[in-house]
Amino acid sequence: MKKIVLSSLVVLGFTGAVFAQGATEFASVDADLSTTISLSEAQAAWPDLTEEAFTAADVDGDGELSVTEYDALVTANAAPAS
């Protein structure tokens, strides 16, 4: 399943540039403390995040990112080490 998410992100052209501001902790992005991250919360942290990339990361299709989905998205898009 993880390969599908990663492949989807590559196909969508979603790169580490969205995360160039640095990985943000889940708790700080979850502004409403719902224990999930909505598209609007994610875009507040990363304005360049597209709806398509968010949807690709939302493996269970519930419209929100769980901690696991969020961590996979951050890990898949971490900037390469300099």
Residue 57 near residue 5, CB atoms below 8 Å: yes
3-class DSSP state of 65: strand
Whether 44 is covered by a domain: the verdict is: yes
Within a domain: 82: no
Please tell me the total count of domains within the chain: 1
Confirm whether 70 is domain-assigned: yes
**Domain span at residue 65?**
2-12+20-76
Residue 81 belongs to some domain of the structure: no
Q: Is residue 26 part of a domain?
A: yes
In a domain, 6, yes or no: yes
pTM over 0.75: no
> What's 72's domain CATH number?
1.10.238.10
* Tens-place pLDDT, residues 22-79: 558 999 999 999 999 999 999 998 899 999 999 999 999 999 999 999 999 888 876 4
Buried b (16+ CB within 10 A) or exposed e, 49-73: beeebbebbbbeeeebbbeebbebb
